[in-house]
Structure 1
Amino acid sequence: MMTSRSLSLLAPITLGIIILAAWEAICRLWHIPPYLMPSPSAIWRALMLDGMSLLHALLITLEITFAALVVAVLGGVLIAFLLVQSPLIERCLMPYVVIMQVTPIVAIAPLIIILIHNTPLALTACAALVAIFPVISNTLQGLRSVDPDLAAYFQMHKATRLQMLLRLRIPSALPMFMAGLRIATGLSLVGAIVAEFVAGTGGNSAGLAYQILQSGFQMDIPRMFAALFLITVAGLVLYAAAASLQRFALRHRS
């Protein structure tokens, strides 16, 4: 008998195979040119032909992604810890956190790239700005969601602010923090791609976004789709890794 886990894995794979088969059949039967809509087989050939250069670009993009994720997590947690200390601090700083989130990164990325002369550092800053808000909001919500009875128990025993933070607030905030981390993982990749599009850096330090731009200029659409495929796979792997880390952390917490 098929388990629910096997079914949840088999169902999307089966649907994906059906979609790819229909896509391939439509491209072949209607003779659609590759520069308009490449078939999956054409995308696969482009991936095999330029796989090394695309993988090199993917590694550069992932370096920016992981660096941005680290900055977003550390900065987001520190800001959340600061906001939860006092309602006055939260009222003063929270509007700026919201402004940072609602401002499109495409609008401020050129300014960041101009101000920060080191291109990888500028790209990291742009991607971190995209990913930091869910870490701040989820961690802050988790730090607030303390059991009132436990808080009263700690206060009755005259626990210090640091003891309340380390022994009560942080354990209570862990589920919300892990949820924010899972969201921030995908946003870090999105932010890295967007920042690379804006920067348009080439050469050996070029990421996948530049490869997409270059393929578009050269009308090499199968290669463009191959780069998009690698981005999609990388995003799925990052999401699965974050979800596994969340399950591991919460299982050992309970």
Structure 2
Amino acid sequence: MSLASAARAALPPLLVFLAFLGLWQLACSVLALPAYLVPTPAEVAREAAAHLDQLAEAALLTALGALGGLGASLVVGGLVAVLFSQSQVAARSLYPYAIFLQTVPIVAVAPLIVVWFGTGLQSVILTAAILSVFPIITNGTTGLVRVDPQLLELFAMSDASRLQLLLKLRLPGSLPYFVAGAKISGGLAVIGAIVGEFFAGFGADDLGLGALILQTSGRLQTAYLFAAIFAATLLGLLLFGAVALLGELALRRWRGRELAVH
């Protein structure tokens, strides 16, 4: 994507965001909303600038938790998807428990994680992984089992083993599905990391964005709270963009190989 096309793609959402800020500022002025209830965008910007170092450090800690959770979900979810694609018995027996990971309220499980594993980064990563693993399992399984029957016949005519079928046909063909699942899981990993920090935290001197949100809300530092929320949103967007970019690079190579084969 060229710089000009990237700018054209970014312009519409940027204009919407600027319009949102204008309406927000107008509402605060017309309704005379108190700053402790709804601060103006200018007040949020001042607080963000005043606490830029703290926000950056908190975002880095949350990013470590989110990346760790996303990495764990990719490994575990990928292995489970391979298992489900190779064994219908395993899929029928274990898939309901995979759904359980998606449906159980993470705020109900997070306190148990703290009891079992203590506070700190390991509990934050585990919480993020639990919340983000389901899209990897479902998308990966779909991609692994949705194979062109003609290609299956071709591999069967070549007396390909089950392992060869998995490594040379199912896994390469499922790449777009895994990429789609990873995009969804990227945003969920950030949410999971922040929820994990609500309970697990990092310590009195090391605050992630989740702990910072709790702290500022408890002290009615609303402008600072808004700044932390915007930092968390920006972190989610950056992680989604990074996953999307890496996925697009991988898909380009995959499409190139597909064209070479055909």
Secondary structure at the aligned position of 1:206 is classed as: coil
Q: Which moved more, 1:79-88 or 1:167-176?
A: 79-88
Secondary structure at the aligned position of 1:205 is classed as: coil
> What is the count of residue pairs matched by the alignment?
252
Aligned to 2:41: 40
Aligned to 1:180: 181
Deviation at 1:26?
Answer: 2.5
Deviation at 1:90?
Answer: 1.1
Deviation at 1:30?
Answer: 3.5
Please give the alpha-carbon distance, in whole angstroms, between the structure 2 residues aligned to 1:190 and 1:39. Answer: 25
- The answer to whether the 8 A contact 1:138-1:177 is kept is yes
Q: How does 1:73-84 map to 2 (within 5 A)?
A: 73-84=74-85
Deviation at 1:79?
Answer: 0.7
Please give the alpha-carbon distance, in whole angstroms, between the structure 2 residues aligned to 1:215 and 1:118. Answer: 20
- The answer to whether the 8 A contact 2:123-2:200 is kept is no
- Residue deviations 1:170-197 (CA, integer Å, cap 9, x gap): 1110010100011111110010011111
> What is the one-letter code of the residue matched to 1:149?
Q
Aligned to 2:192: 191
Structure 2: 5+ residue runs without aligned partners? 256-262
Q: Which TM-score applies when normalising by structure 1? A: 0.94
Aligned to 2:260: none
Deviation at 1:235?
Answer: 1.1
Aligned to 2:18: 17
Secondary structure at the aligned position of 1:234 is classed as: helix
Please give the alpha-carbon distance, in whole angstroms, between the structure 2 residues aligned to 1:100 and 1:185. Answer: 16
> What is the one-letter code of the residue matched to 1:110?
P
Aligned to 2:106: 105
Give % identity.
Answer: 38
In structure 2, the CA distance between the partners of 1:54 and 1:4, relative to structure 1 (3 Å rule), is closer
> What is the one-letter code of the residue matched to 1:243?
A
Over the aligned positions, Cα root-mean-square deviation in angstroms equals 1.5
Secondary structure at the aligned position of 1:251 is classed as: helix
- Residue deviations 1:66-96 (CA, integer Å, cap 9, x gap): 1001100000001111111111111111111
Q: Which moved more, 1:128-137 or 1:16-25?
A: 16-25
Structure 1: 5+ residue runs without aligned partners? none
Please give the alpha-carbon distance, in whole angstroms, between the structure 2 residues aligned to 1:13 and 1:204. Answer: 35
